[in-house]
Structure 1
Amino acid sequence: MGVIAASKAQAYVRANTPQKAREFVLGPDQDHVAERTLSSLLAQFQAVMGSREAELNQHYANRFTDQQA
């Protein structure tokens, strides 16, 4: 849903603002804003997921070693 909203906002900005303002808001590569946004969101999600996985693994490893002692 966020990607659709971003695409609609991008289309509005592209249609109603001068080029310099568009470059300031969207960056110089205006044709790939949605792809960059989605890629960034995916990378951030994967980083958080990896961090949480490591935290859970450590928690269960500590629990296992505590039971062994």
Structure 2
Amino acid sequence: MVKRLFWIGLGTMLGVLIAAKAQAYVRERTPDGARQFLLGSDQENVHIRTLQGLVRDFNTARLRREHELGERYAANRS
């Protein structure tokens, strides 16, 4: 269990580090017009917008699944 937690933590840390380095590379190496096309006009908050999008997608899928299960099991009760 401890090994698994270690590898999950290490993978998460490496993922965050690689994402930060990739974003810094894109900022440095691309012209402003291309950078705005890729990252949008609010380039400082790309990670926040990405996280908000992921949470929104997760909640949409969760609510859809809850509705589906509610209909299925409510029909079985009748």
TM (norm. structure 2) is 0.73
Aligned-pair identity in percent equals 45
- Pairwise CA RMSD: 1.6
Structure 2, unmatched stretches of 5+, are: 1-11
Alignment-derived partner of residue 30 in structure 1:
43
SS class of match (1:28): coil
- Larger RCO: 1 or 2 (CA < 8 Å, sep 6+): 1
Provide runs of 4+ in structure 1 moved above 3 Å. Answer: 5-8
Total equivalences in the alignment: 64
TM (norm. structure 1) is 0.81
Alignment-derived partner of residue 43 in structure 1:
56
Rg: which structure is higher?
A: 1
Structure 1, unmatched stretches of 5+, are: none
- The amino acid of 2:21's aligned partner reads K
